[in-house]
Amino acid sequence: MFDKILIATRGEIALRIHRACREMGIKTVAAHSTVDADAMHVKLADESVCIGPAAAVDSYLNKANIIAAAMLTGADAIHPGYGFLAENADFAEMVEAHGIKFIGPKPQMIRQMGDKINARRLAQEAGLPIIPGSSLLHSVGEALESARQIGYPVLLKASAGGGGKGMRLARNEKELPQAFTLAQNEARKAFGNPDLYMEKYLETPRHIEVQILADDHGNVIHLGERDCSIQRNNQKIIEETPSPALNAEQREALGCMTVAAIKKLGYTNVGTVEYLYQNGQFYFMEMNTRVQVEHPISEMLYTFDIVREQIQLAAGLPLSVKQENLHPQGHVIECRINAEDPTNFCPCPGKITGWHVPGGLSVRVDSGMYAGCVVPPHYDSLVAKLIVAGRTRNGMLLRLKRALGEFVIEGVQTTIPLLQEVTQNPDFVDGRYHNHWLQEFLDSKKTKQ
């Protein structure tokens, strides 16, 4: 097992990784930017190293500085968390080349699944159904021809994409040229890669994903599915498990299909296979080769530490459990709380002057914030994740209502009021929602105003 792990990320996931390491008896090094010097995980880590100024490109995306910090402190592994360099194959290769273990899948697998066009091909070869789509599009002319074959509406997507960036919808031939240009420019700016491909646009799909874990010995397990359909601009806001849209037979089939595909791919460590689901049919969308923001709901459903297992897998240990020994209990939901104006989603950085998190049975809060700390303007606006479990879905939602009402964050605006409104809406309570439901809900609010 590792003696010391350098944590190459920030925020709540950095603290989450530190806690897993501490429980395993592993020392931690917090690699941080100048503005994160007072972050909670930095205060709690055994050592800390400043890797650069506030701008992410100079700190959390600075490969050389991170590796130098690991070598300086004698860390024998680097955990990238999510975001930043977590899915950067070049970084993973550099880490391994310096004799340091990268806690994640093999660099080649990161590269293969990071290319969305290649990932579609690999998924199809592994037996997963894919959405009708195109190969790499070199021009507007090729896009127009592909759209005629697929049928409108279509969605243009960045090949190197993620996080909802580099995506544009075209409902007809007139809209396509501008959508192509906008998607290409956004992809170039966000990923340094303008390559696009196209998929058939589904009008009312649900975003269903499967958490998998795989060791170096050919063993693969899944931790059920998560429904991540409450999204704004393709960014997840609320996730729950199990999905209210699936029955037991569909759930079992989806898990088995995903595990079989992962075995064929030869994937190892932690990952998430994401699908779109509509009219009883699943379509592979992409695979994330890292721990997910929403991993806590799977942890609570199965009483299983995903981050601890991820570290053990990186050390070459076999999976600690078999599929038949995993028994989900109840229902779990996660609400992402952002420091944003809940009416227009503008970021609201600043100093947190008051902080009180809810507690009680089956209530968990993942956050690196505290009273007196500052939410910087340089990074993602996520300040906390509220995770709530219940024996039934209705009981879970009642507990969530109570927990959201107890959560106090003063000094900055947050999205708590919106989360309260959404999770008490009859459509959500009845499980009648899809990927575009939240945007339709927000549009209807504007119309009424």
Which pLDDT band holds residue 161 (cuts at 50, 70, 90)?
confident
In CATH, what number does 4-103 get?
Answer: 3.40.50.20
Provide CATH 3.40.50.20 ranges for the chain. 4-103
Contact 301, 329 (CB under 8 A): yes
Nearest Cα to 155, choosing from 287, 283, 346? Answer: 283
Q: Is 391 a catalytic residue?
A: no
- φ/ψ region of 166 (left if φ > 0, alpha if ψ in -120 to 50, else beta) reads left
Provide CATH 3.30.1490.20 ranges for the chain. 132-200
Tell me the C-alpha distance between 221 and 310, whole Å.
Answer: 13
User: What is the residue-wise DSSP string for 364-379?
Assistant: EEE----TT-EE-TTS
Architecture of domain 206-448: 2-Layer Sandwich (3.30)
Tell me the C-alpha distance between 80 and 66, whole Å.
Answer: 10
Provide CATH 3.30.470.20 ranges for the chain. 206-448
**pLDDT tens across 322-364, in order?**
999 999 999 999 999 999 999 999 999 999 999 999 999 999 9
Listed in sequence order, the DSSP H helices in 31-103 are 40-44, 63-73, 89-97
Selected from 3.50.50.60, 3.40.50.720, 2.30.30.100, 3.30.1490.20, the CATH number assigned to the domain covering 132-200 reads 3.30.1490.20
- Name the active-site residue from 10, 290, 364, 399: 290
* Global pTM value: 0.94
Tell me the C-alpha distance between 366 and 390, whole Å.
Answer: 18
Tell me the C-alpha distance between 442 and 449, whole Å.
Answer: 11
**pLDDT tens across 372-424, in order?**
999 999 999 999 999 999 999 999 999 999 999 999 999 999 999 999 999 99
**pLDDT tens across 192-222, in order?**
899 999 999 999 999 999 999 999 999 999 9
